Structure formats: C-alpha cells, structure tokens
Amino acid sequence: MKTLNVKLFADGAEKAGMLEMYNNPVISGFTTNPTLMKKVGITDYKAFARDILSYIKDRPISFEVFSDEFTEMERQAAEISSWASNVNVKIPITNTKAQSSYSLIENLANKGVKLNVTAMMTVEQVKHILPPLSKGPGGYVSVFAGRIADAGIDPVPIMAEVVRILKNYPHIELIWASPRELFNIVQADNIGCHIITATNDILKKLPTIGKDLTEFSLETVKMFFNDATVAGYSF
C-alpha cells in the first residue's frame, strides 16, 4: 500500500466498528455525529460517549453538540469537553437559523475547549471562523468535501486553498469530511490535507491503494466467475 501522510480518522457510531478501527494502528482518531448515532439506534448520548471513551483513551475523538440555541450549545460543549482529555467538541458553523457560531466558538476557545468546527463547505466560512478558533488550544476545521462534490463542484481547489490558509495556523488542522470513495484519501494526501475522516467501509479498502491494475482486473473476473458458480446459474 502507498505510504500516506494524511492522517486517517474513522467516522462512525457503531461500537464494534469503532473498536475494530481502534485496533488498527493506521487509524489516528475518530469522529461521530448525531445523525450517525441515530442511524445505529443510540438513544443515550452520554452513556454511549462515556462507554466509547473507556476504550479509546489515547487518540482524539470528536463528539458534537445537538442544541440549536447557543447558550445551550455552550453548556453541552463544557459537559462534553469534561468527559476526557482526548475529546474535541464539534460545533456547527451556524445554527439552523443561519446564525454564525463565531461568538460561541470564541467563548469556548478562550476557556480552553478543544474544538472541531463542522459542516463547512466554503473557504469564506473557514476564514470567518479562524480568528476565534485560533484563540484556543488548537482544533480542527471540518470541510465537507463529499457534499461539495454532491453539488457538482470539484472540492479539491477548495480544500487546497484551506490547506494554504492554515499554514498560518499551525495548531489548527483541516479535516476532509464526508468522503465518498477511497480515491478521496489519495486526493487529500496529494494536497497536503492534514486529516481525512471516513467510514469503515472506505477504510477497509485501504490495502487496494497502489494495487497493480492487471492483477486487480483478474481478481474481479475471478469474483464474477466464483459468484456465478456458487449461485448455480445455468441456461
């Protein structure tokens, strides 16, 4: 497999899958969010988080606030931050009313809370949030490259520009969020992105990076033949 400089974070909320990735030394950290937690049926947010943190103690992990009111977001952020020293608190770039999280991020950064500003898709959003975020102990900016691509826009120039901007902020790292395929990891690595967060399904394909395409072609032919044989197809 090709050597990668980009750090790999596992994105998910299913305990067995998270612990499987934790046992993989190439995984440098973890992210989750309320949508992923809802998808796997988690009903007790705090119990889930505290349970996972009892296993994952030595790599960064991000948990997200879930209120839409900034005062309550700040209370939740303080609570989440208190759970462990390896926790980053995810704060959305705005609330659902499109009100900026600037002041909240500034307050939390001044209090020493490690943050992960999330759900961003433009360079302007990143530039807007860097002044308050830079006042803290360090953190992440999560730009949703996969969703940018879903809008029919090439995310690479946007992500490359954020990498360039962050050269002036050495304690803040860019997370390439919401990748859609394994090649996104190669793209992130090529532009010097600090981190990419991906689901287990994508991360399990890592051994195919750099694979000989002729060999890969033959393996695919064998897969089709074997599956047809096992299915017992005939005419």
Q: pLDDT tens, 170-196?
A: 999 999 999 999 999 999 999 999 999
The residue segments making up the domain with residue 185 are 7-209
Residue 148, domain member (yes or no): yes
Q: How many domains in the chain?
A: 1
Q: Which of 110, 44, 34 is nearest to 68 (CA)?
A: 34
Query: CA separation (Å) from 108 to 16, 141, 169?
Result: 32, 15, 18
CB contact at 8 A, 136 and 114: yes
199 occurs within a structural domain = yes
Residue 81 phi/psi, 5-degree rounding, is: -60, -30
Q: Residues 129-165: pLDDT tens digits?
A: 999 999 999 999 999 999 999 999 999 999 999 999 9
Give domain status of residue 125, yes or no.
Answer: yes
Cβ neighbours of 198 (radius 10 Å): 29
Q: Is residue 130 included in any domain, yes or no?
A: yes
What is the rounded distance in angstroms from the CA atom of residue 87 to the CA atom of residue 57?
A: 9
Is position 217 within any domain?
no
Which residue is listed with tokens 């029919």? 152
Residue at 143 is within a domain: yes
Within a domain: 228: no
Q: What CA–CA distance (Å, rounded) separates 74 from 205?
A: 38
On whether residue 215 sits in a domain, the answer given is: no
| Alpha-carbon radius of gyration of the chain | 19
What would the pLDDT profile of 3-38 be if each residue is shown by its tens digit? 899 999 999 999 999 999 999 999 999 999 999 999
- The CATH number assigned to the domain holding 175 equals 3.20.20.70
**pTM (predicted TM-score):** 0.95
